[in-house]
Amino acid sequence: MADSALRLVAILQKIPRSPRKVALGDIRNYLAELGLTVTDRTIQRDLEKLSELFPLEVDTRSKPYGWSFMSTAKTSMPSLHPYEALTMLMAGKFLSDSLPSSLNDYLFYQKYQAADALEPYQNKKLKKWLDKIAFVSEGFNLKKANIKKSVIENVYDGLLHDKKLIIDYKDKLQQEVHPLGIILKERHIYLVCTFWRFEKPVQIALNRIKSIKVMEEKSKAPHGFSLDSFIKDGQANIVLSEEPISLKIKITIAACEHLIETPINESQVISQIDEKWNLLTATVENRQDLRWWLLGFGFQVEVVSPVSLRQEFKTMAEKMSLLYEQ
CATH number at residue 317: 3.30.70
Say yes or no to pLDDT of 311 above 50: yes
Say yes or no to pLDDT of 94 above 70: no
CA angle 317, 322, 326 (to 5 degrees): 145
Contact 302/309 with Cβ under 8 angstroms? no
Starting at the edge strand found earlier in the chain, the sheet holding 269-272 runs: 269-272, 277-284, 245-252, 301-305
pLDDT above 90 coverage of the chain, percent? 33
Q: Is 27 part of any domain?
A: yes
Domain of 102 in residue numbering reads as: 82-132
User: Count of domains in the chain?
Assistant: 4
Say yes or no to pLDDT of 196 above 90: no
216 and 155 part of one domain: yes
Q: Which of 179, 206, 232 is the last residue of a domain?
A: 232
64 and 86 part of one domain: no
CA dist 63 → 55, 67, 202, 245, 277 (Å): 21, 11, 45, 65, 72
252 and 320 part of one domain: yes
**The one-letter amino acid at 79:** S
**Which segment, 33-42, 124-133, 148-157, 212-221, is predicted with the most confidence on average?**
212-221
Say yes or no to pLDDT of 76 above 60: no
pLDDT mean across residues, the chain: 82
| pLDDT for res 304 | 96
| pLDDT for res 4 | 77
Burial degree of 75 (CB within 10 A; 0-12, 13-18, 19+): middle
Identify the band that residue 315 occupies on the pLDDT scale cut at 50, 70 and 90. very high
55 and 100 part of one domain: no
CA-based nearest residue to 281, from 269, 295, 271, 294: 269
> Roughly what angle, to the nearest 10 degrees, separates helices 288-295 and 307-325?
50
Who wins on pLDDT, 13 or 307?
307
Who wins on pLDDT, 234 or 15?
15
CA angle 106, 109, 114 (to 5 degrees): 115
What is the CATH number for 155?
2.30.30
| pLDDT for res 235 | 67
Identify the band that residue 1 occupies on the pLDDT scale cut at 50, 70 and 90. very low
**The one-letter amino acid at 133:** I
Say yes or no to pLDDT of 105 above 80: no
Phi, psi of 25 (to 5 degrees): -60, -40
Q: Which of 204, 232, 260 is the last residue of a domain?
A: 232
What is the CATH number for 13?
1.10.10.10
Q: Is 75 part of any domain?
A: no
Q: Is 238 part of any domain?
A: no
Q: Is 273 part of any domain?
A: yes
198 and 225 part of one domain: yes
Contact 183/203 with Cβ under 8 angstroms? yes
pLDDT above 70 coverage of the chain, percent? 74
- Kindly report the length of the chain: 326
228 and 249 part of one domain: no
CA-based nearest residue to 180, from 214, 230, 215: 230
228 and 262 part of one domain: no
Q: What is the DSSP letter of 17?
A: B
Q: Is 188 part of any domain?
A: yes
How many other C-beta atoms are found inside a 10 Å radius of the C-beta of residue 109? Answer: 18
228 and 254 part of one domain: no
174-211 b/e (C-beta count within 10 Å ≥ 16 → b): ebbbbbbbbeeeeebbbbbbbbeeeeebebbbbbbbee
Q: Is 144 part of any domain?
A: no
Q: Which of 232, 266, 289 is the last residue of a domain?
A: 232
Contact 191/182 with Cβ under 8 angstroms? yes
Distance CA(101)–CA(14), nearest Å, equals 14
pTM of this structure: 0.58
CA-based nearest residue to 315, from 291, 296, 293: 291
| pLDDT for res 297 | 92
Three-state SS at 183 = strand
261 and 305 part of one domain: yes
Q: Is 141 part of any domain?
A: no
Phi, psi of 53 (to 5 degrees): -110, -25
**Range with the lowest mean pLDDT among 27-31, 191-195, 239-243?**
239-243
54 and 89 part of one domain: no
Q: Is 91 part of any domain?
A: yes
Rounded average pLDDT over 197-209: 88
**Range with the lowest mean pLDDT among 82-91, 178-187, 193-202, 204-213?**
82-91
Across the chain, the runs of DSSP E, i.e. the strands, are: 22-23, 56-59, 66-69, 163-169, 172-184, 189-195, 202-205, 209-218, 245-252, 269-272, 277-284, 301-305
